[in-house]
Chain A
Amino acid sequence: MSNNTEVIIPAKIIINRRLSGLFFVLLIFPFIAISINWLSLQFSKWVNSILSISESFQWIVFLFVYLTSLLLFAVFLFFIFLIFSSFKTDFFSLLKSNDNKVYVFNTFKPCIGLLLIFFGFLPVYIMMLKEILPFFQTDIDLLSRIFDSATYSAHLREKGSYLNTLLIAFSYATLNSYWICLFSVSIAALAGFISASLEVLRESKRYKWLYYSINLIIKPYIQIVESIPAIILICIILPVITILLYKLGTINTGYLCYFVGIVIGMSCAPLTFRLVENQIYINKNKDFVKNAKYHGVKWSRIIWQHIIWKNAFPKIVNELIFIWGFTFLVETGLCILYSRGNISLPIIGNIHFSLGNILTTEDTRTILISFLNTGQFTNSLELVKLLLPFIITLLIISGLFIIKAGFDEAMIDRQLEFIKIEELIGYDLLIHNYLNKSTNCLNCNL
């Protein structure tokens, strides 16, 4: 009977689901790539130690790591190629069927967004290809000091490694921003999972007590987070976490970016929680759910497979994309508040090293203001120092929001089509006028 319920799901949802899959590839790929890269490095070191290769043959290790990096990059490019090929197919099919350029351009938005994000994440891949060893022996102090003009003037310039260190700093910051976003999106997705699980528990007679007991904790939490601006809440909670870390004796600034991600994710959790709740509420009274229930399909199966996976999934992904972009904004805003507000935390140094942190350093700000006033840079590296973080942030945020806008429009257009067809049928039955036209239209669209 479950096959009958599947028929009701619109056919064009495939476009969005394909996009969602590719979005996740883009989100999770750096994580997989870096893990494999690290493993390959460890493996090559192990091989090196076993075979006791002399230092003159160290290039073998580098070759091995470089090759794995290149391979991973090629796989990533293949995924990007898949995205574009799928879009190309959709693009031309729509061109042929409609001859409606505005409509086609609207559906092409996610593709543009993905392209922007790809360029935004380039520093991460450059780092993997260019400087492998310094990345794994990251000295956060050195990376943070790269944004101090004194370092440029005195120390690193003489060694000629300033540009290299600057690039690694950007890559490391982009990577840290990526971790923050990944954690935030994961926590938000978890909130959606909890919301759906609660709906499953609500209908079960055996575990209804569990639903009430979990609801007792979660509902007030969601209400609090909803009614207080996210940045205020994060600003209050983050020092508490750092103090707790300080008390525990783990003052490691490297770990703090994960906590920042978790806190931002917790403040974004109500968005997905409410979305899943609403989607279940909307779809609950639809015919396919009633049919499925009548024919004895399990309630958990109805929720997970038919409502969440087949109906609400594109919308959830859309919300997660928004959360990704919002995390970027909040993280940068947080860095601005901490640096401008002169908030002293009980840890030494920066709270975390990320793109937002680079953007808010006093050095970057001074360069920007002097450039806007005079229109000149004192040296070419200042141009890189200023433009790179702004461009990366702008590309990623714009890319994410454009994807979201494209998804929204694609979904609305699809909904409109279905509504139009239904309404036309109803209207024709009422006034007996455009019956032939509407049926033709129905055939050509489905």
Chain B
Amino acid sequence: MKIFSKFMLIYIINPLIITFGIYLLLHFTYLDLNDQPQIKQFPATICIKLNEQILIEDLSVIEITNTKNKQIFYKLDPITAERLEKRYPDDDLQKNILKTDHPIFNTLKKQSGKSLVDSFQSVSQRVQVKLNRESKSLKVRSIEKSLYAQSFENIEYCYQNENFEIYFDLKNNSELKDILLNTKENDLTKLVIESYIGTPEIEFNLAGLNIIPKQNKHSFFTEYFFWLKNIHIHLLEFFKYFKLTVLISFCALIIMTLTSFLFAIYAFIEEINSRWDNSSAEYSRDIDHENRSKFIPFYLLISYFFIPAFFLAYLCIPWLPSQSLWTLIIAILIIAFGDGYFSGMYQQILYSLQNEISQKYIIAARAKWMEIRTPGFGLINDIAWFTNSAPSVLRHIIRNIMPSILIIINNRLPFIVGTTIVVEAIFKIHGLFEYLTSAISNKETHLILTLILFCYIFFQTLSLGTEKLIKILNVENSNE
């Protein structure tokens, strides 16, 4: 009954309270926001008419939307405007800001000092796409006729009007290959066009999840219960992003733990050999410098490794390989050895080992002339205590410090997940970073609630698992 109530508390009651609390906060924060003019800052193509020439640049523009009369205004943000005025003090600026929905400018390159007419000539074909739902982003793969090379970068994102129509233009020397569409519900659909003649009209019938579009407004309580009802769908969607992040985090954690564990044990063996006189069981406070290994300063250097992960990630950007697997491997290594996780873990394990050496049972074992390490075997026999090799002091120590190490690992994991998100942002890995930022920037309450719910349940389950493992270990120890 006690276990049942504990599980009820962790998996049902607490998540409900937490998500509802956060829902309340988010709901009342975002509630009145829609009635007020929304100000959004985004990069847009801007056409500036100077005295002699016309400039076309990607500059920062503010979009002001009045939701009552649905009027949209565009204007330069004050910093950019002032900057332009300072840059061209002699010119009269006629800031003709073209709307972002103008399809021509989506294909124009950033061409400073080039006239509009020249830029227009590079655009030849217009593609029209009709959808039955709101899209989030669109990628078009085109083939360069001259080079026969595939490129994904010709068109990325375009405007979608109220009738779910998308327009975009292709360059003169390129041909449409296929379209990648990412809808609002993160449902990625790929459509391959085999032949392309003239201006095609493509209709998408997306087979996806039955999520009611955002236009259908819910009341305060029904919105929350609607989210609860569709929680399995949301969790499935969330898991697509989370699996990569958790994979990177766990790999980094395993690498970090194993290496720090190994380094700590070797440092400890060096220390114990230099401190413990082999001819007697006495534990000396003074280190025998003659017997001390020269690798000790190396261990000390490792314990000073506090370089932030973002710093390492920035340094790695120019050498980032094109293959995604190598990017992941570099990210894992950066997370494992950045932010002081490795040095912290190394120190914690070393302290645990040093603390354990002063216990009574160790002194008794040494009094019985027990060896520090199992003679004739590798270190693995001392670490894996379930093997049948002869017992050693190190084996007893490692077995007894295991619970404390498990607690440290459990406490570190949320921090490592945080670092993973930051490294994902720098390396542009499509993990939890993408989910988190899209949820916040689009003010998607459902996505935020799913994120919090999943994180809470995941880390609570890990804590429970660790607790259970420690209990098992302690029972084994006491039995022995």
Contacts and interface: CB of A to CB of B under 8 A. Distances in A.
A228 B434 CA distance: 17
B228 to A, nearest CB: 18
B459 A145 contact: no
A373 B425 CA distance: 21
Contacts of A415: 355
Contacts of B440: 235-236, 239, 341, 343
The size class of the interface chain A forms with chain B is 35 or more
Contact of B87 (A155, A349, A373, A393): A155
B14 A223 contact: yes
Contact of B347 (A102, A231, A333, A408): A408
A342 B87 contact: no
Contacts of B437: 337, 340-343
B33 A340 contact: no
Contacts of B339: 329
Given A333-B310, A340-B425, A397-B308, A349 B79 contact: yes
Interface in A29-78: none
A374 to B, nearest CB: 10
A341 B434 CA distance: 7
B421 A337 contact: yes
Contacts of B287: 100, 102-103
B79 A240 contact: no
Given A148-B83, A405-B347, A427-B363, A229 B414 contact: yes
A330 B418 contact: yes
Interface string B16-41: 01100010011001101100001111
Nearest to A230: B418
A5 interface: no
B193 interface: no
A135 B452 CA distance: 41
B86 interface: yes
B300 interface: yes
B403 interface: no
Interface string A210-251: 000000000010011011111110011001100110010000
A81 to B, nearest CB: 25
A397 B343 CA distance: 14
A420 B419 contact: no
A369 B436 contact: no
B78 to A, nearest CB: 7
A420 B283 contact: yes
A148 B84 CA distance: 12
A18 interface: no
A415 B358 CA distance: 10
Nearest to A240: B29
B306 interface: yes
Given A220-B18, A402-B306, A344 B42 contact: yes
B452 to A, nearest CB: 6
Interface string B352-389: 00110011100100010000000000000000000000
B335 to A, nearest CB: 12
A393 B363 CA distance: 46
A154 B306 contact: no
Interface string A94-126: 000011101101000000000000000000000
Nearest to A228: B455
A333 B306 CA distance: 16
Interface string B270-283: 00000000000011
B39 A346 contact: yes
A336 interface: yes
Interface residues of B, number: 81
Nearest to A422: B358
B397 interface: no
Contacts of A227: 414, 455-456, 459-460, 463
A340 B26 CA distance: 23
Contacts of A336: 310, 422, 425-426
A324 interface: no
Nearest to B62: A348
A441 interface: yes
Interface stretch (B100-108, B145-153, B314-322): B314-322
B345 interface: no
A79 B30 CA distance: 49
A99 B285 CA distance: 11
B347 A232 contact: no
Nearest to B313: A336
Contacts of B326: none
A244 B354 contact: no
A426 interface: yes
B451 A232 contact: yes
B194 interface: no
B317 A240 contact: no
Interface in A226-280: 226-232, 235-236, 239-240, 243-244, 247
B307 interface: yes
Given A220-B18, A227-B463, A427-B360, A240 B26 contact: yes
A348 B363 contact: no
B311 interface: yes
B415 interface: yes
Contact of B433 (A98, A239, A337): A337
A332 interface: yes
Contacts of A154: 86-87
Contact of B419 (A224, A333, A419): A333
A431 interface: yes
A154 B85 CA distance: 10
A104 to B, nearest CB: 12
A329 B422 CA distance: 10
B441 interface: yes
Given A240-B25, A337-B437, A420-B285, A348 B39 contact: yes
Contacts of B38: 346
B29 A229 contact: no
Interface in A371-415: 372-373, 390, 393-394, 397-398, 401-402, 405, 408-409, 412, 415
B296 interface: yes
B286 A229 contact: no
A317 interface: no
B418 to A, nearest CB: 4
B253 interface: no
Given A240-B25, A240-B29, A408-B351, A105 B300 contact: yes
Contact of B282 (A325, A393, A434): A434
A363 to B, nearest CB: 13
A171 interface: no
B360 to A, nearest CB: 6
Nearest to B307: A394
Given A243-B30, A244-B29, A343-B437, A368 B314 contact: yes
Interface string B404-438: 00000000001101110110011010001110111
Nearest to A341: B437
B452 A236 contact: yes
B340 interface: yes
Contacts of B186: none
A161 interface: no
The winner among B79, B304, B360, B448 for most chain A CB atoms within 10 A is B79
Contacts of A103: 287
Contacts of B79: 141, 144-145, 349
A346 B436 contact: no
Nearest to B414: A229
Contacts of A99: 286
Nearest to A434: B282
B344 to A, nearest CB: 8
Contacts of B418: 229-232, 330, 333
7 contacts: A232-B421, A329-B339, A340-B428, A412-B355, A416-B358, A419-B355, A441-B285
Given A141-B79, A224-B18, A337-B437, 11 more contacts: A153-B87, A229-B415, A229-B418, A229-B421, A230-B415, A236-B22, A329-B339, A333-B422, A337-B433, A409-B347, A420-B285
CB-based closest 5 A-B pairs: A341-B437, A231-B418, A333-B422, A372-B318, A401-B306
